[in-house]
């Protein structure tokens, strides 16, 4: 349970870092980041999983780059639902997905090291 809360907290911090780095990616508060992290996680576990399974051949052809497009779509959907979380355009969502992937990778390395 503590591990799950840590992942949720780190995901919210990662979203705040992305909002600081990527123009057009906006979060109003840490509370909005917590809710956005929860919604992004739920969307990734449900809709993201279905999209990744359906587009698996395309992901192989693009060497996994299409997964970033799916993650950008998930971020855009989450921003449409969560108050205080705004993404202005697909390019901001795509860049946000890239930066978010890198920040989460760095957190994963730090937590497991």
The total of structural domains in the chain comes to 1
Range of the domain at 51: 2-112
CB of 12 closer than 8 Å to CB of 36: yes
C-alpha span between 90 and 112 (Å, rounded): 32
- For the chain, 113 residues long, give each residue's pLDDT as a single digit of tens: 888 898 999 999 999 999 999 999 999 999 999 999 999 999 999 999 999 999 999 999 999 899 999 999 999 999 999 999 999 999 999 999 999 999 999 998 988 86
At 89 the three-state DSSP class reads coil
* Other C-beta atoms lying within 10 Å of the C-beta of residue 89: 12
Q: Which residues pair with 27 in a beta bridge?
A: 85
Residue with tokens 């205080």: 84
For residue 58, the Cα-to-chain-centroid distance in whole angstroms is: 20
- Tokens encoding 110: 């730090």
Handedness of CA 11, 38, 3, 45 (dihedral sign): negative
Is this prediction's pTM over 0.75?
yes
From residue 79, alpha-carbon distances to 1, 6, 33, 54, 89 in Å are 27, 22, 11, 23, 11
């Amino acid at each position: 349970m503590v591990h799950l809360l840590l992942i949720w907290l780190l995901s919210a911090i990662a979203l705040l870092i992305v909002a600081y780095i990527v123009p057009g990616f906006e979060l109003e508060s840490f509370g909005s980041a917590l809710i956005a992290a929860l919604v992004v996680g739920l969307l990734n576990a449900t809709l993201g999983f279905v999209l990744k399974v359906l587009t698996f051949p395309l992901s192989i052809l693009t060497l996994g780059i299409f997964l970033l497009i799916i993650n950008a779509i998930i971020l855009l959907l989450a921003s449409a639902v969560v108050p205080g979380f705004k993404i202005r355009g697909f390019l901001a969502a795509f860049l946000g997905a890239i930066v978010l992937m890198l920040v989460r990778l760095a957190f994963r390395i730090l937590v497991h090291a």
